[in-house]
Structure 1
Amino acid sequence: MTTAPVRLPEHLDHPFSPAGRINPHPAYRWLRTNDPVHHDAASGLWLVTGHADCQTVLRDPRFSAAKGQRERARDDALPPSMLTTDPPDHHRLRAPGALLLGPSAVRSVAGDLTRDVDELLDRLGRRPAAERPDAVADIGRPLATAVFGRLFGLAAAEYARFETLARAASINLDPMVPPARAALGRTAAAALTRYLDAHCATLARGGRAAPLAAFAADDRLTRSEMLGVLNLAVVGGWQPLAELVGNALCSLLPDRAAVRRLAAGDDTSGEGGDAGGEAARRAVDELLRLEAPIPFTARVTTDTVELAGGTLPAGARVLAVISAANRDPAVFADPDELRVDRHPNPHLAFGGGPHFCLAAQLVRQAGGLLLPRLLRRFPGMRGPHGVPDWDRCLVPRRLRVFPVDLGVPGADDKDPGTAEEDHG
């Protein structure tokens, strides 16, 4: 007997439709409750929305990442990298990547990044009071560019060019862009690769000391493989890090108790708090849980797989819907609410299994450095009124714009009636 396909109720927007892309959470909530392993007739994809099932998709070797990337809606080939391979090739490509994005690399640039963040906040403070900076363009992108500039050993004069190339190549994050934009993405990726290739050659001739120099000199990778991994680091790292700031402030600013808590940070440095401390990193994880810039990841089954929520046939094109899994009430109490001190927090915004994001510590460090400093400098910061202006792209999940009112730098932000008690 053939089972009739499950369809979303008419009052819910499909999560891939223009309206659904703005707010996919109602549809994901319904699917997670009613059909957690859902075959979507419109796209031919299987949408997996439960946390436990998504963990299986990310960890089980019967789900191929390599085939998942080849099954994108676009017909352009991706360069060789961790994203496009399964073990053991994946492990071979990933190991050298630690030289660029691993803990030692992050520690080597931490001091410079602290100065970069303080300079960014100084620039914001010098803006005319009537000028409302955009959290995406004026805070997120400069942060991401500074982070990659330090990792890559770029001169400050190169930052604008690098940002232009990174933004253009980030079109390639979205697997479902129209053909014309996909063509622009291919051209931009090629231009970015040429730029990075030339910059690596400069470093090899005695340029600045930087994690990229060690990575580019590693002989475990061919030149083509090295550039493929490097291209992935930019396309998969720069844009999501830039979007993290706007997404985070959109969730955070309405909750004034949470703002004050994060601004206080871990007061262990003797200088008003440790901006990169544990409290800040927990807050970054929670903000990523609520609005992850990468909302899903693709796999293809190599065999029939039984999940708790249903059965997937061999050859199924599967999306592990991270945005849905991160709000699963079976795992997260009050899943739609912000709890900046949530612990434990087994969110899947960094993926899981062999493909766990190599830059996770970098993102936590950068976000944990920026956000407390930003909120201490501008404790009266407020976001725009009304419905957030979410972009209609699928990947990354991002705000089109998010203008912020900085308030008066250093002014007390206690709301009337909340001075004695916080309910965050």
Structure 2
Amino acid sequence: MSTTAPVRLPEHLIHPFAPAGRADPHPAYRWLRANDPVHYDAASRLWLVTGHGDCATVLRDPRFSAAQGQRERARDDALPPSMLTTDPPDHHRLRAPGALLLGPAAVRSVAAGLAADVDALVDGLPAAGRVDAVADLGRPLATAVYARLFGLPAEQLRRFEALARAASVNLDPMVPPARAALGRSAAAALTHFLDGHTRTVADTEVPLAALAADDRLSRAEMLGVLSLAVIGGWQPLAEFIGNALHLLLPDRAAVAALGRADEDAARLAVDELLRLEAPIPFTARVTTDRVELDGGVLPAGARVLAVLTAANRDPAVFADPDALHLDRSPNPHLGFGGGPHFCLAAPLVRQTAALLLPRLVRRFPALRGPAGAPDWDQCLVPRRLRALPIELGGAA
């Protein structure tokens, strides 16, 4: 660690990991990015990297190890080997088969079904009244997406969603021990469920069948990749819809513009909404050597968080960085990470959200969000709302 005294946040700013700071960490990150962009945080014993260029380096430079990044978890359990917890070449060996489940070709193979699922979800909403964007939109959408990818029958959807929700606690590196234990049990139950289900789809054409049949992975490795796809994908996709509507609905001009958007414009809008409130706010690495970044120097063995949510509001890269501009282009946000670990599910998230959000605001042009402060959950990962009650205002 540096021999100089660590820089501390000013007293008027709440630490972003503190319970009171988790609802709105952006003021603290803004100050760090401007005043100490490579910051040693004594409370967590982590280095917080907040500038866009430096975060991009953390994600791409091989001196930052994802495998060793497990050491930042304030828990005694390790995630199973997967793309998330390995470095090249093991990472590449696991990632290539994973593309059979989540890559562009897999997404294209289920695109028509996803469009039908989105239409059914919107058609199933009441003509007027109140719904919860998290429980009534985000979660059903994520479950429908995975049902298409996995070939899940209708009678298994409730069980799958319950396991996916329970196991997603493993995303949070600082969850309390009791909840961590429940998360481990849920992850084991999810793996058992997936193990059984993969044996029923061998003769089908769903993307899961292609992954399960790929002989580049052992069965344990295949199940690790599959579990990661659920734990790292179902909850963030579910929560993104609430986060996006929280940002979108107060801006009536943006709502109207999204209602008129074609497919390309809708994807630009999804990227901008992800930039401002991505469900995965940071990613962990450990340095294998001393690294000089633009914002400071990291020693070898440093436990590093690339704070993606801070990088995504860096004024050196994004004009008017805290404002929503649905047509922002280019938009080099890091909401999907970057480098070798760039989110494999990015095409799926972009396509699915770009289907739902325009359809929703076209059907309900008077859609309104709640008044008052948003109800953010206390978990660090994913960044999510506990609920987002929205008034539909009547169907068009």
Give TM-score, length-normalised by structure 1.
0.92
Are 2:363 and 1:365 aligned? no
User: 2:249 and 2:72 mapped to 1: Cα distance?
Assistant: 39
Return the match for 1:173 from 171, 174, 177.
171
Which residue number corresponds to residue 139 of structure 1? 137
**Cα deviation per residue 1:361-419 (whole Å; 9 max; x = unaligned)?**
00000000000001100110000001111111100000111000000111xxxxxxxxx
Letter of the 1:233 counterpart? A
**Cα deviation per residue 1:196-253 (whole Å; 9 max; x = unaligned)?**
000001112x3x4300001110000000000000000001000000001000000000
Are 2:277 and 1:288 aligned? no
Which residue number corresponds to residue 5 of structure 1? 6
Q: Per the alignment, in what secondary structure is the counterpart of residue 358 of structure 1?
A: coil
**Cα deviation per residue 1:110-151 (whole Å; 9 max; x = unaligned)?**
11111111111111135xx44x11100100000000000000
Which residue number corresponds to residue 389 of structure 2? 403
Contact 1:283 1:341 in 2 (8 A): yes
Which residue number corresponds to residue 102 of structure 1? 103
User: 2:94 and 2:3 mapped to 1: Cα distance?
Assistant: 44
Contact 2:170 2:180 in 1 (8 A): yes
Which residue number corresponds to residue 27 of structure 1? 28
**Cα deviation per residue 1:151-192 (whole Å; 9 max; x = unaligned)?**
000112211111001000000010000000000000000000
Are 2:244 and 1:248 aligned? yes
Instruction: Give the aligned length.
Output: 395
In structure 2, runs of 5+ residues without a counterpart are: none
Return the match for 1:224 from 220, 231, 234.
220
Note the C-alpha offset of 1:20: 0.8
**Cα deviation per residue 1:324-376 (whole Å; 9 max; x = unaligned)?**
00000000000000000000000000000000000000000000000000110
Q: Per the alignment, in what secondary structure is the counterpart of residue 265 of structure 2?
A: helix
Letter of the 2:245 counterpart? L
User: 1:191 and 1:390 mapped to 2: Cα distance?
Assistant: 28
Which residue number corresponds to residue 325 of structure 1? 311
User: 1:84 and 1:393 mapped to 2: Cα distance?
Assistant: 21
Contact 2:46 2:72 in 1 (8 A): no
CA pair 199-2 structure 1, distance change in 2 beyond 3 A: closer
Q: Per the alignment, in what secondary structure is the counterpart of residue 400 of structure 1?
A: strand
Are 2:198 and 1:212 aligned? no
Aligned pairs (5 A) from 1:60-75:
60-75=61-76
Contact 1:69 1:83 in 2 (8 A): no
Which residue number corresponds to residue 302 of structure 1? 288
Q: Per the alignment, in what secondary structure is the counterpart of residue 404 of structure 1?
A: strand
Letter of the 2:188 counterpart? A
Q: Per the alignment, in what secondary structure is the counterpart of residue 39 of structure 2?
A: strand
Contact 1:254 1:383 in 2 (8 A): yes
**Cα deviation per residue 1:15-36 (whole Å; 9 max; x = unaligned)?**
0001111100000000000000
Give TM-score, length-normalised by structure 2.
0.99
Q: Per the alignment, in what secondary structure is the counterpart of residue 321 of structure 2?
A: coil
Contact 2:118 2:141 in 1 (8 A): yes
Contact 2:52 2:317 in 1 (8 A): yes
Q: Per the alignment, in what secondary structure is the counterpart of residue 383 of structure 2?
A: coil
Off by >2 Å, runs of 4+ in structure 1: none
Aligned pairs (5 A) from 1:320-359:
320-359=306-345
Letter of the 2:246 counterpart? C
Return the match for 1:390 from 362, 372, 376.
376
Note the C-alpha offset of 1:80: 1.2
Contact 1:290 1:326 in 2 (8 A): yes
Identity %: 78
Letter of the 2:209 counterpart? A
User: 1:160 and 1:121 mapped to 2: Cα distance?
Assistant: 19
Which residue number corresponds to residue 51 of structure 2? 50
User: 1:138 and 1:284 mapped to 2: Cα distance?
Assistant: 19
User: 1:284 and 1:71 mapped to 2: Cα distance?
Assistant: 30
Q: Per the alignment, in what secondary structure is the counterpart of residue 46 of structure 1?
A: strand
User: 1:196 and 1:3 mapped to 2: Cα distance?
Assistant: 50
Contact 1:286 1:340 in 2 (8 A): yes
Q: Per the alignment, in what secondary structure is the counterpart of residue 20 of structure 1?
A: coil
Q: Per the alignment, in what secondary structure is the counterpart of residue 306 of structure 1?
A: strand
Q: Per the alignment, in what secondary structure is the counterpart of residue 385 of structure 2?
A: coil
Are 2:366 and 1:380 aligned? yes
Contact 2:71 2:303 in 1 (8 A): no
Which residue number corresponds to residue 274 of structure 1? none
Contact 2:72 2:173 in 1 (8 A): no
Letter of the 2:14 counterpart? D
CA pair 228-70 structure 1, distance change in 2 beyond 3 A: farther
Question: 64-73 vs 344-353, which deviates more?
Answer: 64-73
Which residue number corresponds to residue 422 of structure 1? none
Letter of the 1:92 counterpart? R
**RMSD after superposition:** 0.9
